[in-house]
């Protein structure tokens, strides 16, 4: 099991200190590449941090909607969506390669992530955009989703993920952010969910129904107020993988 984190989601380097604190405790990062956040300077800084900490680098493209932080669906044509995704991914890829690294994966952001989890037409565009980048680039996405099915049908490497800081609906989807119970705020409760995903291979949805979730990576959000604490605790949990880990946090 690995940890991935959405990072580089700011416009000024003065706000980059949290990312720097998180980097030593994750295995992969998803760097905003201009759609919902990020710019050339923030991408360069994020890539440098990732390379310094030997963290796998991923592009985190979204609908081109910075005003809403990429959290509202956009009705783009398949051609428009494909073009903006390829543009965003290539932008980060060029930064990574200029710094001597390589792009490891692509993970959609926000509303695009949710739409690709449910809508096969959106999922197909995401996979097509990644295929245009290169065969070595993996796709990270929601376990048990349309994107997972499309990627596997295309024989494209897909890494299914679970979330430690979000609650689930009964159908393997996240509770919408507009809902007051969407986020898991406390680090202790986040670790309980993480341990359930790691040890029990699932968790209880918001209706109490058990959901089997086969994931290979756990996501935490870098913009969460306690993201640094969460990263440290999750890193320790995965390292120790002992039932009494939570008691020592």
What mean pLDDT is predicted for residues 201-208?
Answer: 88
| 18: β partners | none
What mean pLDDT is predicted for residues 44-64?
Answer: 97
Secondary structure of residue 154 in the 3-state scheme = coil
How high does pLDDT run on average in the chain? 92
Q: What percent of the chain lies above the pLDDT cut of 70?
A: 96
How many Cβ atoms are within 10 Å of 94's Cβ, its own excluded?
13
CB 63 within 8 A of CB 74: yes
- How high is the pLDDT of residue 243? 43
81-116 pLDDT per residue, tens: 999 999 999 999 999 999 999 999 999 999 999 999
How many Cβ atoms are within 10 Å of 140's Cβ, its own excluded?
25
The DSSP H or E segment spanning 117 is helix 110-118
Res. 35: pLDDT tops 70: yes
CA 85/CA 61 separation, integer angstroms: 6
- How high is the pLDDT of residue 136? 84
- Say how many residues make up the chain: 249
How many Cβ atoms are within 10 Å of 227's Cβ, its own excluded?
22
The domain covering 2-161+216-244 belongs, at the CATH homologous superfamily level, to Glycoside hydrolase/deacetylase (3.20.20.370)
**Helix axis angle, 110-118 relative to 146-153, nearest 10°?**
70
Q: Read off the pLDDT band of 177 (50, 70, 90).
A: confident
CA 113/CA 147 separation, integer angstroms: 9
């Amino acid at each position: 099991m690995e940890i991935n984190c959405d990072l580089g989601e700011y416009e000024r380097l003065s706000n980059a200190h949290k990312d720097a604190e998180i980097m030593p405790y994750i295995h992969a990062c998803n760097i905003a590449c201009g759609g919902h956040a990020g710019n050339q300077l923030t991408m360069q800084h994020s890539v440098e941090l990732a390379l310094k900490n030997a963290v796998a680098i991923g592009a985190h493209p979204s609908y081109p909607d910075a005003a809403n932080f990429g959290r509202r669906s956009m009705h783009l044509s398949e051609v428009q969506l494909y073009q903006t995704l390829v543009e965003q991914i290539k932008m980060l890829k060029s930064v990574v390669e200029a710094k001597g690294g390589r792009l490891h994966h692509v993970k959609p952001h926000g509303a695009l992530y949710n739409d690709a989890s449910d809508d096969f037409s959106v999922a197909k565009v995401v996979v097509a955009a990644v295929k245009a980048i290169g065969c070595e680039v993996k796709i990270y996405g929601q376990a048990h989703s349309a994107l997972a099915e499309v990627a596997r049908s295309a024989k494209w490497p897909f890494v299914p993920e679970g979330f430690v800081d979000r609650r689930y609906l009964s159908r393997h989807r996240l509770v919408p952010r507009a809902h007051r119970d969407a986020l898991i705020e406390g680090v202790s409760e986040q670790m309980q969910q993480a341990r359930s995903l790691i040890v029990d291979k699932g968790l209880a949805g918001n209706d109490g129904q058990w959901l089997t979730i086969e994931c290979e990576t756990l996501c935490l959000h870098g913009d969460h107020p306690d993201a640094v604490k969460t990263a440290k605790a999750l890193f320790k949990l995965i390292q120790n993988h002992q039932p009494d880990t939570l008691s020592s946090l």
